[in-house]
Structure 1
Amino acid sequence: MEAASMEEEGVDEQQQVMREVHLRCQPRFSVPYISHFSFSLPHDSLSERFSNSSNGERHSSCQIGLDEDGDLVLARRKKQSFNHILSIQHKIISSIPSVGLQVWRAALVLADFILHKVSTSSDFDGFSSLELGAGTGFVSIALASCAKVVFVTDIGTEILDNCVFNAHVNSNVFKYQENSIRVRELDWRKAWPPDIRSTSDLQTLDRYKYSWTSSDIKEAEESSILLAADVIYIDDLTDSLFNILEKLMSCGSEKVLYLALEKRYNFSLNDLDVVANGYLHFKSYLKSEEECKTLLERGSSCFVGKLIDLDEVPKYVTEYERGEDLEIWQIMYRRSRNITKNW
């Protein structure tokens, strides 16, 4: 969350917040806490990614034998469940500007979606990805096992340092090369592409360690998959998000955004009802395919949103409860040919 955005919205920067994900943790305010999130993978295809076998061979548990009459007996294959642990360093309680140091439920449901995709298809294999507002890096780490490169982006040195730590401690579990995760700072209020630094600056000057190189920009623009979790809670920040999405999704290869959110309800004096204003503002950016077709014919571009059915996404991560307030949206940007770039 940006300080400027909070100031405009009248948000108290010193207000302390805590998510129910951390209710079982001891209340240490300033010291980072490491939580261990377990997930079960019943699919051979994904389990092999995390196996310690060096030869990559699949061993069958199905045994063949003969009964007393000499007939062939095939033992039924037992369904196996492979349990893994993802360790995440986070804060239990944080001020609002530092909410990226906490783990949020939307990140967990988006991780479920990614684990399901990776374990049942090759949709994400070998693609480059970029996560917006990555927080602890939970979602990007879940994807790193099959992606070519994952750009993990957020703002603030403390949050980005924490992403680097979490990527390092989980590299052995998810079997990815650490250099396949690139932690970069991305301020949504600024123009895309971000300021560029030389590789030598990133290696020698600490203040530039999360800056972008020209090769980073080129590869990020060729990313096919964009990710975001729990970035919808302040209208000004939502406006900034869609502003940078419009620019980023207009560059390079065609992109699809998977955005997970948690609807937050408050009592509105204007409506005299409990409403999710932040969610409604987010929805105002999204059009159906039919609505978008009409806008394109009129020379306007648009975002097309499709709500993903979470009943079709198994719950792999065990340490959270799903509810009707959690959603995942698939979002694409349709750009009118009559619009020219001005950035």
Structure 2
Amino acid sequence: MNEDTEEHQQVMSEVHLGCPPGISGPHISRFTICLPSGVESSRFNGLFQDEKSSTDQDISFDEDGDLVLPRRRQISRRCFTMKIQHNITSSIPSVGLQVWKAELVLSDFVLHKMCTSMEFHGIVSLELGAGTGLAGMLLAHAARTVFLTDHSDKILENCLKNVQLNSGVNHQNIICVRQLDWTHPWPPKASSDRASQERFSWSSFELEEVQKASLLLAADVIYSDDLTDALFGILDRIMSQGSEKVLYLALEKRYNFSLDDLDVVANGYSKFRSYLKDDSECEGLEPGSVSCFTGRCINVAEIPQYVGGYDRGKDVELWEIRYNKDTALIPC
């Protein structure tokens, strides 16, 4: 598929199937975030608010077989709402203007970590291919600094708009929306003079902060081999420097018929898996011989659903990826 075809072909996320048809420009959706049953989080009392809603009891029959009319009952949940501006359809290069299932699964994971542990409290984090920025904005309620990065100015403008739309949802820590081209050298060029910087460019201080980052996030960035190569190229450069980092990457396996394989395959997934080794494979490599990423697939079924209104399906995966510095090439 050439660049002109990609620019004109329109695609739509399943998340947007219920949105009003015929809207070509940005649309604002409200995502309700609720604490699942059994999860308590007193640390976020200012975020989750008590909310009452009505629900119908299941239909039942008495011993004579007569219908028992259900009664509506009130249930209490602790919830809050995120406003997300997004496009309902987009070209393939602009898919970051939409919300995708993998982003919602990653958001569930981030919320669960925040609500059940202190692991993300006070950290510095970098999200790659942040798109609409939902997962990173949620993380900002616990992290000290969150960098939301993407490549296109149009996607970055939309991401910044979402940060502004949710500025009143009680996150007081720093969110920075910054441009990051995976095919360019790391670190990007920076200026110490903030006044002379372009809107999404980096300051020297911010790049030093990324060196301290312990957490990387990414969602729905696996769908072409070239993009996967670029992703692991930038991961090699970022994760080999500064403090030890872990990447949590959510992806959705999308199946298409391949003429090369004469079979239905998930584009980009095999390429993604080829970059990941297990610990024993990394231990057998000579120091400095090759970059080595280890990966562990997390059982998504064990992560409660905090974000309402979407069906995870069976093809979303969440990976914990680490970088073995002992076997990695020294970056140029």
Same-fold status (TM-score > 0.5): yes
Give the 3-state SS of the residue equivalent to 2:326 in structure 1: coil
Change (3 A) 1:293 1:337: closer
- Output the aligned Cα RMSD: 2.0
Give the 3-state SS of the residue equivalent to 2:202 in structure 1: coil
Kindly tell me the number of residue pairs found equivalent between the two proteins.
Answer: 304
TM-score of the superposition, structure 1-length normalised? Answer: 0.84
Contact kept in structure 1, 2:41 and 2:116, CA below 8 Å: no
Structure 1 position 292, deviation (Å): 1.2
State whether structure 2 residue 236 is matched by structure 1 residue 246. yes
- Residues 187-217 of structure 1: CA distance to partner in whole angstroms, max 9, x if unpaired? 0010100111331113xxxxx1100111011
Q: Which of the numbers 33, 37, 40 marks the counterpart of 1:43?
A: 40
State whether structure 2 residue 254 is matched by structure 1 residue 264. yes
Contact kept in structure 2, 1:261 and 1:326, CA below 8 Å: yes
Give the 3-state SS of the residue equivalent to 1:318 in structure 2: coil
Structure 1 position 137, deviation (Å): 0.5
Q: Which of the numbers 78, 81, 85 marks the counterpart of 2:77?
A: 81
State whether structure 2 residue 201 is matched by structure 1 residue 211. yes
Distance 2:295 2:215 in 1: 15
- Residues 215-254 of structure 1: CA distance to partner in whole angstroms, max 9, x if unpaired? 0110012110000000000110110000000000011100
Distance 1:129 1:39 in 2: 21
- Letter matched to residue 326 of structure 1: V
- Letter matched to residue 132 of structure 1: L
Runs of 4+ in structure 1 deviating by more than 6 angstroms, as ranges, are none
Contact kept in structure 2, 1:296 and 1:335, CA below 8 Å: no
State whether structure 2 residue 262 is matched by structure 1 residue 277. no
- Letter matched to residue 43 of structure 1: E
Distance 2:248 2:146 in 1: 14
Structure 1 position 17, deviation (Å): 0.7
Q: Which of the numbers 124, 129, 143 marks the counterpart of 1:128?
A: 124
Distance 1:300 1:157 in 2: 34
Whose helix proportion is higher, 1 or 2? Answer: 1
The residue number in structure 2 matching 1:116 is 112
Structure 1: unaligned runs, 5 residues or longer: 1-5, 53-78, 203-207
Contact kept in structure 1, 2:292 and 2:327, CA below 8 Å: no
Change (3 A) 1:301 1:156: closer
Percent of aligned pairs with the same amino acid: 52
State whether structure 2 residue 307 is matched by structure 1 residue 317. yes
Give the 3-state SS of the residue equivalent to 2:80 in structure 1: strand
Structure 1 residues 1-343: aligned runs within 5 Å: 7=2, 12-41=6-35, 42-50=39-47, 81-173=77-169, 175-177=170-172, 180-197=174-191, 198-202=193-197, 208-296=198-286, 299-336=289-326, 339-342=329-332
